[in-house]
Amino acid sequence: MASEQNRRDFLIQAGAGLSAAWLSANWPAILSAAQHAHKAAQAVAPAKFEVLTPEQAVEIDAITGQIIPTDDTPGARQAGVVYFIDRALKTFASGQKEAFADGLAQVQAKTKELFPPVQKFSAASPEQQIAVLKALENTPVFGLFRFATVIGFFCDPARGGNRSEVGWKLIGFDSSHVFQPPFGYYDKDYPGWQPNPADASKK
């Protein structure tokens, strides 16, 4: 469950959609799940970086901002992907600090190589930035940044990315987690399952 708000929506919708008997039977579990989610939500990314240096954060923000750019809709920057990465490196991905530092060095080297005298990826123009990433597209370092960016953009917001669910909103993912049919366009007005009419006409 994404956040306390989602959990609350979940409870409200569950209350509307489910029998009272079911709710009373399951209420303690749901309540405890809600508390769990609340704790997770409180742990949302801090304003300060804990692992990344401010300089590294600027570079990562620029790189991730090209992988999922901001155009008519929010991108990696608005999703707080750099905060997600910082938190990941502090917690479950702590073993990858070196890989990220090394990756930043490679991006910087490629920037200097292609566009002297530009010294830093973040200082390059948007067109130059795209050209640098294109040059690195098939390397493990790009794979690492892309992997982290996509996860940070679409993850559960309790993980510090996907802020305000911008990733989910982009693709039309509804985070209510409780749904009733019809779910989409093609199951509206579905008449119910019928055997293949072609078989009936054969008989």
Query: Closest CB to another protein among 122 and 149?
Result: 149
CB of 33 to another protein, least distance (A): 4
Q: Which of residues 123-152 bind another protein (CB under 8 A)?
A: 130, 133, 137, 146-147, 149-151
Helices (H), ranges, the chain: 4-17, 20-42, 54-67, 76-79, 81-90, 97-114, 126-136, 140-154, 166-171, 197-202
User: For residues 3 and 38, what is the distance between their CA atoms, to the nearest angstrom?
Assistant: 7
Q: Counting contacts by CB under 8 A, is residue 19 touching another protein?
A: yes
Q: How many residues bind another protein (CB under 8 A)?
A: 65
Nearest to 54 by CA among 113, 122, 103: 122
User: For residues 68 and 81, what is the distance between their CA atoms, to the nearest angstrom?
Assistant: 10
Question: Binding residues for another protein, per CB under 8 A?
Answer: 1-2, 14, 17-19, 21-22, 25-26, 28-30, 32-33, 36-37, 40, 66-69, 71, 73, 75, 92, 130, 133, 137, 146-147, 149-151, 153-156, 158-159, 167-168, 170-174, 177-187, 190, 193, 195-199
